[in-house]
Structures are given as structure tokens and as C-alpha cells.
Structure 1
Amino acid sequence: MVKTRPQLVFATFITSGLALVISIVAFGTDQWLRSGVNIGTNLDNRVNYGLFVGSYSRRTLGEAEYSLSITCDFGQNKCAMLCGTSAIRSSYLQLLFAGDQTDGYIACAQRSGRAQTPDAITEVHIRADEDDTMPDGFINCGVWISTVLFLAISCVFGVVSTVLAIWNTVANPVETFLSTTGLFFYNCVACGFSLVSMLLWGIHFSMVLADSAGIHDTISEMGNSEGQGSLGYSYWLVLIGILGYIASAVILAVRQYLIDKEPDTIVNIEDNNDNTIILF
């Protein structure tokens, strides 16, 4: 097939490439959730985090800012944004399962640079009884893993779409999975996986995180964030990426429509045979 309208194929390189970059930015930034947290009469506490890390400005005993990291128990299917080393976070997560209300920040290094008391916590004991009821307000582990996985798959297909857009601009591969047909399919797949990741996190936010920020203070009920949660710009960047993939698919569909509208080329072959020549 003769290569036609390569400028439209190159346009998909721009839209798919921008969608990919925006999705990667959304993946790595820490603004998937923002929320205020009320602790007693202190109403000026703020938390924000992404899919992996975040920060918490806590002003109960002077201003302090803590680095948060996602901490999960796959057996319990629950996660929380906690501070401290991996061992400390895991211990505090188990304490949260047990309904314990130990201060979850006493052992954390503070980003504000103030010195940490080395003897503030020496050992975390899990004091769970069989009658303990696990509190609500955790981040669902399955939702978190699925959101990360689907967004990562979307980025992979975004890379494939961007590379194939350049290839189809300068060449004319005949294999379906490498041609503009495959390019259309890969953009649709990237769009679909991004959309699923948005839906998963958005539904979980509306059901849980809008009223409980998924951090130690809100899960242990030492603090309250009811009605204060909002989806941050990192989440909405995924939507912009989706629009980029949709734009690529639309451009390819328009290109194919324009090609199909072009009249068929009729080639006239002149017959130059001399009928007067007789072969004996």
C-alpha cells in the first residue's frame, strides 16, 4: 500500500507522546489525594500523597512535616500512608489493625529538620486481641495495586504508540500490528487502561478517602478528615493523558476516512500491438 498522509501519522506522535509524558508525571507525583486533618482543636493539618509517597504537615506540638510512604499488608488487603523506616511502618500498620492509638509519628524522621529523639520509641509491640475490631479508613490494597498496574500498562502501550507513530511516518510497515491499524489499537488500549485506573481510584476516593485520608491519624481516629478530601492534580493529569490517546485515535480514524474517500486511480494501458504483423 502506498504511504499516504504521513503528516497525520506524525501528528499522532505528538499527541501520543504528550499523553505518555503526562501519564508518567501523574504516576510519579504526590498529588493524587489532598486533605485537611482535624486533631482536637487543631484544624491546620494538611496531607497530600501520590501512589507511592507523600507528605503530612502536622501542627499538634509545633510545626512538623513528615514524609509518608505507602505501606501494605497483602494478607489483610489494606494499606496506609505511614512515616518512618520500612520496619516502623510495618509495625504501626499492625498496631492499626489492632485498633491501637499509639502516636504514629513519634518515631518518624521529620522533614522540617528538627532532631529526632533516639529513645522516643525503642520497640513497637502488637497488642491485638481476638476480640479487637479492625478500624475502617484504610486504603484498599487491591485498588491501589490495580491502579498502579493499569497505569503502568497504559504507559507501556503509550511508549509503543509513540515509537510506532514515528516508524509509520517514515516507513510503511505491512504487518498489521506494526501498521497504522496497530497504532490505532495501541492508543485505544492505552486510553482504556488509563481510564480504568482513574475509575478505580476515583470510586475508592468517593467511598473511603474523601472522609478518611488513609493515614495513621485518621485510621486510629486520633484525627478526622471527614469531607475534607479532594483529588489532586496528579489524578486529573491522567484524564489529560486519556484525551491525548483519544486524539491520536481520532486523527488515525480521520486519516483512514480521507484515504477511503480518495478516488481510485485508473491506469490506462495503451495497446501498441501491430495487428498487421503475421507470424508464420
Structure 2
Amino acid sequence: MAVTRRGYIFGAFLSSVLSVLLIVVALASDSWVTSTATAPTQTADSSIRYGLFRGEFIVRELITPSEFTLYMTCVPDLGVCAVSCKTNEAAREVEVRALASGYRPNAACGSTTTVNEANPLSTPPVISFAFYVCLITLLIVQLLLAVGAAGLAILNATKNPTEPAFGLPGCLWTNITVTLVGLAVMLMFGIYWATSGLQTHLAMTHIALALFVPGPGLGYSYWLLIVACLCSATNVVLIQVRAYLLEREPPPPTIKVENHSDGTIFLY
């Protein structure tokens, strides 16, 4: 009986499922950007965290902290995004427009936004809308590819498809692509974090107006992508190790018909 070593392929399937889950968590969670927010009048440091869609702003000015939801708000016609704690969608848009223009919106987490156009900010504390859209698009592409890699792995673990696109070569190259796209996402966000000034203003009114001193960092949502990339890279290794072991297997014995003169029928 031929040795198929399907355990390696099934291991690649489990690793692909883990990669899918990690990408989903990274995409949906609210800890891409994390920061403390220090002010002299506080009883303890406030905290900020937000992801690609929402976040949380906890203010500790008093013994009992106040919690506010942060919303990633984009204004496509200006090509900018920022986070806002305003409770009204229209107020959030007005706030982001003011930040994009360098003006100073009020910092209260209420339902209205007032704008002070005097003494404008030197640098608009916003995120590039094009960068934001590209980041989410690549994450969705990575997720779809990871789902495809998991499907190909379980397909090859349960049967032997004859189509090359659905065989192990397809599974191998899908995992390679997942890894490369994941690394591209991490490099994009990491470089943008280091060079755009996002660490300084956090694309948030309270930090841009210097009401708080930030202690910024990258949250677990970002670092989960490293594990997702490692899972996909592990799949590549498993598939290649399996191929290497199969090549080392001794060939099946061959029967020479001319050595048998007793009329035995051989089935091949």
C-alpha cells in the first residue's frame, strides 16, 4: 500500500483554521492602537484603544471612570479618517472635518460638535482614507485566501483531486500568498505607525488638543497577524516536508513477467 502521509495535510488544515480565526479576530477587534492618556488632574491614567471600526475611551478623572465608545469615522471626499467619541453620527463627521482642516473641535463626548477656527493645529490629526481602505481590503483578501487554503487542505486530506488547482500545489501556493499578504498588511501599518505622526496625535481630538499626554503602542489586534502568518508558513513547511518524505520512500517492488512461466495473471 502506498504511504500518503495525510497527517501532514490534516495538520495544515488545522493550522489554516487557526489562521482564519486569528485574521477574523484581528479584523474585528478593537486593539490595533492602544495608549494611556495622562493628565495632571486625574486620579489614574485614562486609556484609549481602538481598532479598524470601533474602540473605547476610559476617562479616570474621578474615582469612578467614565467609558465612551470610539467610532472610526471617515470622510471620503476629504480622504481622511479619525476616531471620535461623539454619540451622534453627524457630530462625528463634523469633528473629523474640523480635524482634517486643522481646526479645533470641542473635546466633549456629547451629541454635538462646535469648532474653534482660531489657532489652528499645525498637523491635521487624521488617518489617510486611502490607507485605511487598502488596509481593510488586504485583510479581507488575506481572510478569503486563508479560508481557501483551509478548504484545499481538507479536500486533499480526504481525497485525491486530479485538478492541479485543487491539489497540493494549489494549497501550497495559496498558503504562500496568505503569508505574503499578511506580511504586507503588517508592514503597511507598522510603517504608517512609525512615519505618519499617528503615535503623536492618535487621530483623536483629546490627544491632538494636548488635553492628555499619550503613551502609545500597537495592540494585540496587530500582533495577532504575526501568528496568522506563522500558521500559513507552517502549512508550507508541512506540505514540503510531506513531499520530501514521499520522495524518500522506497519505490514499490516491480514484478518481471518474463521471470514467471507458470501462467500467473498479474493485475496492475
TM over 0.5: yes
* 2:39 maps to 1:51: no
Tell me the distance in 1 between the aligned counterparts of 2:161 and 2:40.
66
Contact 2:19 2:227 survives alignment (8 Å): yes
Contact 1:147 1:198 survives alignment (8 Å): no
Deviation at 1:69, TM superposition (A): 1.1
1:195 and 1:77, CA in 2 relative to 1: closer, same or farther beyond 3 A? same
Aligned AA (1:250): V
Contact 2:39 2:212 survives alignment (8 Å): yes
* 2:138 maps to 1:150: yes
Helix, strand or coil: the match of 1:35? Answer: strand
Choose which of 230, 238, 249 in structure 2 pairs with 1:251: 238
Structure 2, gaps ≥5 residues long: 263-268
Deviation at 1:209, TM superposition (A): 2.5
1:79 equivalent in structure 2: 81
Helix, strand or coil: the match of 2:104? Answer: coil
Deviation at 1:148, TM superposition (A): 1.3
1:92 equivalent in structure 2: 95
Superposed counterparts of 1:27-42, under 5 Å: 27-39=27-39, 41-42=41-42
1:278 equivalent in structure 2: none
Choose which of 137, 150, 154 in structure 2 pairs with 1:162: 150
Deviations 1:54-83 (A, max 9, x none): 011124577421101111122333211112
Contact 2:105 2:205 survives alignment (8 Å): no
1:90 and 1:127, CA in 2 relative to 1: closer, same or farther beyond 3 A? same
Tell me the distance in 1 between the aligned counterparts of 2:39 and 2:157.
58
1:236 equivalent in structure 2: 223
Deviation at 1:41, TM superposition (A): 4.5
1:17 equivalent in structure 2: 17
Contact 2:82 2:126 survives alignment (8 Å): yes
Moved more, 99-108 or 156-165: 99-108
Tell me the distance in 2 between the aligned counterparts of 1:12 and 1:68.
38
Superposed counterparts of 1:117-136, under 5 Å: 121=112, 124=113, 135-136=123-124
Deviation at 1:134, TM superposition (A): 6.5
Tell me the distance in 2 between the aligned counterparts of 1:133 and 1:241.
39
Tell me the distance in 2 between the aligned counterparts of 1:60 and 1:103.
18
Contact 2:41 2:61 survives alignment (8 Å): no
Superposed counterparts of 1:173-188, under 5 Å: 173-188=161-176
Deviations 1:178-219 (A, max 9, x none): 001100111111111111111111112222232222212123
Choose which of 55, 65, 68 in structure 1 pairs with 2:67: 65
Helix, strand or coil: the match of 2:206? Answer: helix
Deviation at 1:223, TM superposition (A): 3.5
Contact 1:135 1:220 survives alignment (8 Å): no
TM-score by length of 2: 0.85
Moved more, 96-105 or 11-20: 96-105
Aligned AA (2:236): A
Moved more, 45-54 or 93-102: 93-102
1:193 equivalent in structure 2: 181
Contact 1:138 1:219 survives alignment (8 Å): no
Moved more, 67-76 or 94-103: 94-103
Identity percentage of aligned residues:
25
Contact 1:98 1:127 survives alignment (8 Å): no
2:266 equivalent in structure 1: none
Contact 2:35 2:216 survives alignment (8 Å): yes
Structure 1, gaps ≥5 residues long: 109-120, 275-280
- Coordinate RMSD, CA, aligned: 2.6
